Chains A and B, each alone.
Chain A
Amino acid sequence: MSKSYEFVPEPPLVQGNHTFGSITALIGDIPERETPKGWYIAFGVANLLLLLLVALLSYLVWEGLGVWGLNNPAGWGWAIINFVWWVGIGHAGTLISAILFLFRQHWRTAINRFAEAMTIFAVMCAGLFPAFHVGRIWVIYWVFPVPNQMGMWPNFSSPLLWDVFAVSTYFTVSLLFWYVGLIPDLATLRDRVKSKTSRFFYGMFALGWTGSNRHWLNYEKAYMILAGLATPLVLSVHTIVSFDMSVSNVPGWHSTIFPPYFVAGAIYSGFAMVVSLMIISRKIYGLEDIMTVDIMEKMNIIMMVTGNMVAFSYLMEGFMSWYSGYIYERGIFWLYVVGPYAWGFWILMFCNVINPQFMWFKKVRRSVTLTFLVATFANIGMWYERFMIIVASLATDFMPSSWAYYSPTWVDYLTYVGTFGLFFTFFLLFLRFLPMVAISEVKAGLPQADPHYYEEDDQLEGSNGAGSIVIQPNESV
């Protein structure tokens, strides 16, 4: 008696009738193709903002931190908010690459490359702030364990120091991970581009990659290990960032839920940013076939899940502040809700609690515009979350006598805007000169990449492997 199972395959990762060659052409030609006008305009704006950033930071260093809106209870302000926000965004990239790689989620190939790029640039923006928010940046090297004539060393029990190590490690590893991924594609470009200079540079960075399978063997191993290392690293980084708060005793900071809560938040905002960037670049460079709506939907689902994790931690915070019976904790939560910064709290509630719920609807998940909207709100919301945690908690802590309202100065505003200049300057350069999709991985993802694809020709002729396979029970699989 025979039973037969129907196997409904995933929708193909790459849509349209693509061969290896066409994939190469699709992405590999971008540096060769002449650049869209939009790119130049965007790049110009980004550069202006970058200049603004440089100017403001010089002004800051010359005049002193007083030019920011910091005051006595609120010793940290926008600088640290922006830092945490950017680092959070910087999470998606390596996370998508690493975790999804380990979980064999092949749809990652469409987005991992520029997600990683985004990570690197975001972390660069983030890194600026902790450096410039110190009072005497000219001695900031004291945070590194460098032997010196004072015989002094850093204090390894400070979460801030852990942060220094975490963020710099994260940046370095992300950079390596990204570059390793780039090597074969750089080789591809090296072999395509015409001009001598670009051949020289691509050639130099391709390190003479030939596509030898002896090399692929070590390469894949290395990539796998890096992914394995990066995954805990990603989680550790925001955990340690959250230690900056949770290890101290400030009400609203001193809470064990922070690490998971921060990581969830980071993934939430990170994916939001990736989605937005993906939506933009697929439009500009016509990569709809690779960055498909299915992939967008998958990411939206992750956003929804992490968003709800964040919402849950808000709930827990409220509950614990009541349940602990710790009047200072209770006080601060009450102040979030009705205190001087309540407006921030409610913005946050909308963006991080209501907003992700829209993703329950398939229509929203699959609609490009709506997704873009939701993602943007998610990013705004995550900024406000950090604002509430850092400023609101500090400004109204144990000592009512010292409570004071923190108000940023124009320098704060413009510095934040300036960081976008830094981010997009690099990001646009990346889009322009580097393969924004992992060419070799996409190819490897194609059905014809599998040697077995060429057996049983008769059955699979021309169907890109997207047909359904009937498996007989008596067959052993």
Chain B
Amino acid sequence: MSKTNENPTYWKSLNQLANNEEYKKFLEREFPENASELKDGMSRKNFLRIMGASIALAGFAACRRPVEKILPYKTRPEEVVPGNPLYYATAMPYRGSLTGLVVETHEGRPTKIEGNTEHPASMGNTNTQMQGAILGLYDPDRAHGITSDGQKKSWDDFLSFAKQNFTSDKKVAFLCEANSSLTLNRLKKDALKKFKNAEWVTYEPFGEQNALEGNNQAFGKKLRTYNHFDKAKVIVSLDADFLQQGSENVTNIGNYTRGRALESTKDSMNRLYAVESNYSLTGSNADHRLRIKNSEVELFTYALAASLADKIGGLEAFKGYNNHFSNHSWVSVLTEDLLNNKGESIVAAGNDQNPAVHAAVAAINMALENKDKTVSYYDVPTFETGNDTQRFYELTRDLKAGKYDALVMIGTNPVFTAPSDLDFSSALKATKTTVLLSQYHDETARQTQWHVNRAHFLEQWGDGTSYTGVKSVIQPMIQPLYGGKSEIEYLYAIINGTSGDGHKLVRETWKSYLSSTNFENQWEKILHDGILPNTEFDTPRVSLSSSFATYMNQAFAQAKKPGDNEIELVIKPDNKIIDGRYGNIGWLQELPDPVTKITWDNVALMSLKTAATFGVKNEDVVSITSGGKTVKLAAWVLPGHADNSITIWAGYGRKGIGRIADDDFGIYVDNKYKTLPFEVHKFESKNVFPFVTTDNPLYHTSVTVKKTGEYYSIASTQDHSSMEGRPLARQGTLDTYREDPHFAPEMEEVAGIEKKSYRKFPDALYTPQEGYDYLPQWGMSIDLNSCIGCGTCTIACQAENNIPVVGKEQVKRGREMHWVRTDRYFIGNDAGDPEIIHQPVPCMQCELAPCEEVCPVAATTHSRTGLNQMTYNRCIGTRYCANNCPYKVRRFNFFNFSKEFLSSGDDPEVIQMAMNPDVTVRFRGVMEKCTYCVQRLNRAQIDRQLETKNQSFKPVDGSVQTACQQACPANAINFGDISDPNSKVVKVKHNERNYIMLDVLNTRPRTSYLAKIRNPNPKMS
């Protein structure tokens, strides 16, 4: 696959395609081959359903052959070879910056998203939301057209409307999501030129505005902070969940894990301290973690700064400051460790912390001489001046005061997310003309005059910059399924009242970045590579502003120690659906939260101690009241959470968005069977945005919590979090590793083997059958030291292998279908404050697979490439294999999940387009499991045969990747041919940390693990 990644086919041809009639037909889903497969696939499943009723028919299956039409092209675009996928470079706008992607398309329909190896923000990797974007594209619940006050309208209607209403004399306000688009920025200038005294405000509920404001206060300039985690030796995270949150988390994960990679005992690794209230993904990877209230993080920061101020210059503002953390052991230890690593350390603050914290952190990094070494401050040209938060508040107040004729909203959903005391809806009422561009007919859309349905980024022309400023172009993979418009076409229409072609608009913009002489060639190169290299933002030289000290002094005054028994409430963006924007993507909803393993819901997270004080346990409903607002939520005990603090994820409790995002249990609600003993309460809403107010944006210091006595069932995929002293996920400290490199394999004693080296097994009773040596022998290695537990592999697998979403009830019953799950274990003696270790578990592909011998019909057997193959169409569903699988990686279709998943919604055919034509859609009653993406392996193998005229069956090392490996942002997964001694995977497996899970069973898995290494500070214990 990646072989093709390196030279994806040129865009030009598909571009011509876009203008030809036939291609449009195409999008009415008349494919030569695959559409028919899918359609027929469904009919077959229906057939089977009927078979369930009348078995007698079975023999005649063949007679009832459905007449099947094949629709060829009129003229086939040269590069399209039916049956062979094509790969195009594009980029995904993610929370205000772009990440480069490569998209796999089958006969014109995108089916899989991969990272673009050329693109610095991706480096070939993606995160869960990017993997999920495919399902977002084919979401039947997206808005299907333009509406005005509930009436369906055409694009021309909108144009004429725009022409009359957006005349230059109007006073127009623009409210825009964080968006790095260069073209949008260009049009923005036009807009501000046309509409005198217009206002342009950027609004993100969980954006980087606080960080920017902090830097603004520190340096007198709005700068974007970028941390080079790969270069740092010591990292201090002050409530900074940099591995999960923030638009650059893919880059962060890559850098962070690179900074910890251990090839041998000689290598060194970084050390991560985390200070936070919630148990974040970052915290779960930290070497040391301090759990304090969210409201105390600020105090801790100042205390740290103060203690540093005594040792180094540049922090005079903090001299003499002290609070109850000043003689906390952490402060002294951190001070020492940071000073020992001047210029090689990072102090990072969470986006949701006050500007003051960010200002202090900026000062600390300056003082530690980290600037331009481990920390860069980028000057982003597209930013407006001023404090975005304040400007948004003012704008809203002005709107309410009726100071504007028109409000133009781009991609935001303020009615849902804006602080409740602002009462944004009344602002909408107060404004004469309101227009919104968004993908769903969401809360805001329902209150605006005009709603234009937005094109998905895979359907649109666009451009933008990565977090660090690298410019890329977004090119469409498919015509807008619902005729949606991109933000640039929309804005252009508003300004000019005429329709502008996205393609032209973008080229227009890029003329200024490319030399006019050979524009076309450069343009094609950019489209091909996906980036315009070496275009990072510039990093101005900065120094602490004169007003910094006074600013901090005000901050000191405001920062108060919260009462010990005060309960605080913290609102965090959700790990999967952020602020709800990805809420209708089933894959993400069903993905277990990396730390709590909860699916489909948000809960009130609290520590053991706190839960005890309220007398609640998991799934007990508590009512949380603050500032007159009350929300009822299920309590969930999260060991390691700060005491007297409650964390709730935002983005849930939506209404009328779609069948996934809405407040119910996913696609299995109505038409499906419900089990009696398992009863569920429904609530008005699990929406916590009402708590957000202008003066308490994201946390409240004193809230009242009551146990309601109700019970709300939560679907968590892992009920048991202790390893029970079993050596499953193995870890050690850096020192133990250096003293005894083989500590990991030795953790489980296996008879007949002293020092377990790679592929050394105890004898079996018989000589096992081997794979054929002319074939590749596939093997995998998962490095627990790199794995951060984000769950991207799960979604990538789901996208690649047509794995259905089963809905909350089924997950609750333990019937989730994920082929690769990430186990999360709590370690440590203190139940209140445990460590966490993550362990992804796909099928181990045992050579002596216990599952195979027990299948009565030989539906699961061994391939000669060493795969433990699962033949769906042979399976009769005894589930014996699943029982006998010690790793519990087999998944059973208890209902006709695929059918329900693929045929639900208003426009079922659309979701079918997301399916991978190379993988069978599994029907009811069969077992399924990971097969190392055998469809990719076989394709690579055959391609290799074609290349070498059959002389070799073994794909070149690295030319084939499994979906999980390719997506993994931490590069934790290695995969390849273990019969080739020089392959990467073999090299990795030779590492001393290599061990086999449950090797006492002598199942001889092809998948092995590398033990996790922690790097604790000896002074801490």
CA distance A53 to B58 in the complex (A): 24
Within 8 A of B (CB), among A119-167: 133-140, 142-143, 150, 152-155, 157-161, 164
Q: How many residues of A contact B (CB 8 A)?
A: 59
- Segment at the interface with B among A1-9, A286-294, A398-406: A398-406
- Segment at the interface with B among A59-67, A233-241, A257-265, A357-365: A59-67
A398 touches B998 (CB 8 A): yes
CA distance A250 to B879 in the complex (A): 14
Given that A64-B895, A143-B876 are known contacts, is A397 also in contact with B726, CB under 8 Å in the complex? no
Best-surrounded residue of A158, A164, A407 (most CB of chain B within 10 A): A158
Q: Is A70 an interface residue (CB 8 A)?
A: yes
Q: Is B153 an interface residue (CB 8 A)?
A: no
CA distance A112 to B875 in the complex (A): 41
Q: Is B1001 an interface residue (CB 8 A)?
A: yes
CA distance A410 to B676 in the complex (A): 7
For A244, the chain B residues whose CB sits under 8 A away are 880
CA distance A133 to B880 in the complex (A): 11
B675 touches A157 (CB 8 A): no
B825 touches A401 (CB 8 A): yes
- Segment at the interface with B among A10-18, A72-80, A184-192, A436-444: A72-80
Within 8 A of A (CB), among B616-666: none
Q: Is B189 an interface residue (CB 8 A)?
A: no
A143 touches B856 (CB 8 A): yes
Q: Is A281 an interface residue (CB 8 A)?
A: no
A154 touches B888 (CB 8 A): no
Given that A76-B879, A249-B1001, A407-B678 are known contacts, is A331 also in contact with B724, CB under 8 Å in the complex? yes
A158 touches B677 (CB 8 A): no
Q: Is B720 an interface residue (CB 8 A)?
A: yes
CB within 8 A of A136: which of B728, B841, B876, B884?
B876
For A69, the chain B residues whose CB sits under 8 A away are 675, 813
For A429, the chain B residues whose CB sits under 8 A away are none
Q: Is B9 an interface residue (CB 8 A)?
A: no
Q: Which residue of chain A has the shortest Cβ distance to B676 in the bound complex?
A: A410
A75 touches B883 (CB 8 A): yes
A155 touches B856 (CB 8 A): yes
CB within 8 A of B854: which of A248, A397, A405, A407?
A248
- Minimum Cβ distance to chain A for residue B836 (Å): 13
CA distance A400 to B58 in the complex (A): 41
- Minimum Cβ distance to chain B for residue A58 (Å): 8
Q: Is B912 an interface residue (CB 8 A)?
A: no
Within 8 A of B (CB), among A313-358: 326-328, 331
1/0 per residue A381-408: CB within 8 Å of B? 0000000000000100111111111010
CA distance A37 to B894 in the complex (A): 45
- Segment at the interface with A among B49-57, B107-115, B143-151, B287-295: B49-57
Q: Is A376 an interface residue (CB 8 A)?
A: no
1/0 per residue A185-213: CB within 8 Å of B? 00000000000000000000000000000
For A247, the chain B residues whose CB sits under 8 A away are 854
CA distance A140 to B854 in the complex (A): 16
Q: Which residue of chain A has the shortest Cβ distance to B810 in the bound complex?
A: A66
A75 touches B895 (CB 8 A): no
Q: Is B893 an interface residue (CB 8 A)?
A: yes
For B424, the chain A residues whose CB sits under 8 A away are none
B814 touches A75 (CB 8 A): no
For A66, the chain B residues whose CB sits under 8 A away are 673, 810, 813, 815, 894-895
B878 touches A160 (CB 8 A): yes
Q: Is A19 an interface residue (CB 8 A)?
A: no
Q: Which residue of chain B has the shortest Cβ distance to A139 in the bound complex?
A: B876
- Minimum Cβ distance to chain A for residue B325 (Å): 36
For B888, the chain A residues whose CB sits under 8 A away are 72-73, 397-399, 401-402
- Minimum Cβ distance to chain A for residue B823 (Å): 4
A153 touches B858 (CB 8 A): yes
Q: Which residue of chain B has the shortest Cβ distance to A69 in the bound complex?
A: B675
Q: Is B152 an interface residue (CB 8 A)?
A: no
1/0 per residue B879-905: CB within 8 Å of A? 110111011100111111000000000
Interface of A is mostly: loop
- Minimum Cβ distance to chain A for residue B184 (Å): 45
A136 touches B856 (CB 8 A): no
B678 touches A158 (CB 8 A): no
CB within 8 A of A399: which of B823, B883, B1001?
B823
CB within 8 A of A160: which of B719, B821, B854?
B854
Given that A248-B850, A405-B719, A409-B676 are known contacts, is A155 also in contact with B855, CB under 8 Å in the complex? yes
Q: Is A168 an interface residue (CB 8 A)?
A: no
B886 touches A142 (CB 8 A): no
CA distance A239 to B882 in the complex (A): 22
CA distance A353 to B879 in the complex (A): 32
Q: Is A71 an interface residue (CB 8 A)?
A: yes
Within 8 A of B (CB), among A89-104: none
- Minimum Cβ distance to chain B for residue A129 (Å): 12
B876 touches A142 (CB 8 A): yes
B854 touches A64 (CB 8 A): no
CB within 8 A of B850: which of A139, A249, A399?
A249
Given that A136-B925, A138-B58, A409-B675 are known contacts, is A160 also in contact with B856, CB under 8 Å in the complex? yes
Q: Which residue of chain A has the shortest Cβ distance to B814 in the bound complex?
A: A71
For A405, the chain B residues whose CB sits under 8 A away are 719
Q: Is B1017 an interface residue (CB 8 A)?
A: no
B876 touches A135 (CB 8 A): yes
1/0 per residue B671-714: CB within 8 Å of A? 00101111000000000000000000000000000000000000
For A70, the chain B residues whose CB sits under 8 A away are 879, 892, 894
For B728, the chain A residues whose CB sits under 8 A away are 399-401
Within 8 A of B (CB), among A44-59: 58
CB within 8 A of A158: which of B723, B856, B925, B998?
B856
- Minimum Cβ distance to chain B for residue A84 (Å): 14
CA distance A134 to B676 in the complex (A): 23
Q: Is B560 an interface residue (CB 8 A)?
A: no
For A63, the chain B residues whose CB sits under 8 A away are 673, 895
CA distance A134 to B725 in the complex (A): 35
For A400, the chain B residues whose CB sits under 8 A away are 720-724, 726, 728, 825
For A407, the chain B residues whose CB sits under 8 A away are 677-678
CA distance A242 to B750 in the complex (A): 27
CB within 8 A of A152: which of B673, B815, B874?
B874
A397 touches B886 (CB 8 A): yes
Q: Is B924 an interface residue (CB 8 A)?
A: yes
Q: Is B250 an interface residue (CB 8 A)?
A: no
CA distance A164 to B841 in the complex (A): 33
A71 touches B719 (CB 8 A): no
Q: Which residue of chain B has the shortest Cβ distance to A72 in the bound complex?
A: B814
1/0 per residue B908-945: CB within 8 Å of A? 00000000000000001111000000000000000000
B877 touches A138 (CB 8 A): no
- Minimum Cβ distance to chain A for residue B180 (Å): 39
Q: Is B509 an interface residue (CB 8 A)?
A: no
Q: Which residue of chain B has the shortest Cβ distance to A247 in the bound complex?
A: B854
Q: Which residue of chain B has the shortest Cβ distance to A396 in the bound complex?
A: B720
CB within 8 A of A143: which of B675, B724, B839, B857?
B857
For A249, the chain B residues whose CB sits under 8 A away are 850, 884, 886, 1001
Given that A135-B925, A136-B875, A142-B876 are known contacts, is A158 also in contact with B815, CB under 8 Å in the complex? no
Sample of 6 A–B contacts (CB below 8 Å):
A61-B53, A65-B925, A154-B857, A394-B883, A400-B724, A401-B718
Q: A158-B853, A401-B718 are in contact. List 17 more A-B contacts (CB 8 A).
A: A64-B924, A65-B894, A67-B673, A72-B815, A133-B879, A135-B875, A135-B878, A143-B876, A150-B874, A160-B856, A248-B883, A331-B724, A398-B887, A398-B888, A400-B726, A401-B821, A401-B824
Residues of B within 8 A of A (CB): 48, 51-53, 55, 58, 673, 675-678, 718-726, 728, 810, 813-816, 821, 823-825, 839, 841, 850, 853-858, 861, 874-880, 882-884, 886-888, 891-896, 924-927, 998, 1000-1001
Top 5 nearest A-B pairs (CB, nearest first) are A135-B877, A135-B925, A71-B814, A75-B879, A66-B894
Residues of A within 8 A of B (CB): 58, 61-67, 69-76, 133-140, 142-143, 150, 152-155, 157-161, 164, 244, 247-250, 326-328, 331, 394, 397-405, 407, 409-410
